[in-house]
Amino acid sequence: MTSVAHLIDTFLNQLESLKRSGNCAPATRTWYADQLKKLRAVAGDVPIGQLRITHLSEVPLTHHFCRAVKKLFAWAADFDLVAANPFRKLQIPRCGERTRTITPDEFQRLLRNSSAPFRRLLVAAMHTLARPGELRLLKWEHVDLDARVIRLKKFKAKDRRRDGVRMRVIALDDVAVKLIRHRLDRRRPEDVYVFESPKKRPWTPNSLRCAMRRARARAGIEKVDGEHVVCYSTRHTAATKAIRNGLGIKHLSHLLGHSRVTTTERYVHMDVGDLVNAVAIATRN
């Protein structure tokens, strides 16, 4: 009988074929591989017909993990690779919302304790408000320094947008322009990606997570309310700073690449000091 590990390999091989044909983003295949390796670790040798939800008792049932497992077995059921989907009724927990931002002192400590390639990506993230995934896969062909923008034809949730936007435009401030121009001056003929890992290869989601974990540990940055600083924290931090600097929520929504302002509002995290400043402005004569 087919094992769980064999089923996972078959699924990932199909994603690899779709990736080669341009019908699956490389990051999608990587994401599923990262999530499903947890299932492989606890139930890889189990025959599919004997798999039960109890086999997941040693794995945290996070939003992302449950999504990946349900997709795997829904796909297997569609192709008659399993007689029944054992996780059809598995509930997907809500994805936890990030509220952690990076203080100026923490950011400087992160920069001091990062490798040069990771430091460049952190600075770019803070000064463009771009998603880490957009920067790690950013190619030179996407950059227009004369216009001070990055143009992406492929971007998150493009197919789900209802506003007709088919191009993601990321604006570059002075710091971002200077950083990318510095990279351009040192570009080798064979270089495709603007931001490379220390191994001179494109960053992967896991290599970014590892780089942040190392920098965070060296900088002595602890959790706040149970939440670590992660790469995506730069986006929340920059969005919150933008509002504090007086940028309107509609303009911020465009900078972040959101189709709805309600999504943008989840990226802004005001504290008590912001409320005190707000009431002073609200009651000013």
The distance of Cα 174 from the centroid of its chain, to the nearest Å, equals 24
Q: Structure tokens of 246?
A: 């007086």
Per-residue confidence at 139, pLDDT binned at 50, 70, 90? Answer: very high
Q: How far, CA to CA in Å, does 130 sit from each of 125, 186, 257?
A: 6, 23, 8
Question: What would the pLDDT profile of 80-111 be if each residue is shown by its tens digit?
Answer: 998 888 888 888 887 667 889 999 999 999 99
Question: What would the pLDDT profile of 193-215 be if each residue is shown by its tens digit?
Answer: 999 999 899 998 889 999 999 99
pLDDT at 37: 94
Q: Does pLDDT of 272 surpass 80?
A: no
Which residue intervals of 186-246 are DSSP H helices?
A: 205-219, 233-244
Mean pLDDT computed over every residue of the chain: 90
pLDDT at 164: 80
Long-range contacts of 9-14 (CB under 8 A, 24+ apart): 10/81, 11/36, 11/72, 11/75, 11/76, 12/36, 14/75
pLDDT at 95: 67
| % residues pLDDT > 90 (the chain) | 63
pLDDT at 86: 86
Q: Does pLDDT of 155 surpass 90?
A: no
pLDDT at 90: 85
| pTM (global) more than 0.75 | no
Measured between alpha carbons, how far is 4 from 93 in angstroms, rounded to an integer? Answer: 23
Triad 19, 66, 51: Cα angle to 5°? 100
CA neighbor of 256 nearest in space, from 278, 229, 232: 232
Q: Does pLDDT of 1 surpass 70?
A: no
Q: Structure tokens of 180?
A: 């990318």
Q: Which run of H or E residues covers position 108?
A: helix 104-112
Q: Which of 43-52, 62-71, 269-278 has the lowest mean pLDDT?
A: 269-278
Q: Does pLDDT of 53 surpass 90?
A: no
Residue 232 near residue 134, CB atoms below 8 Å: no
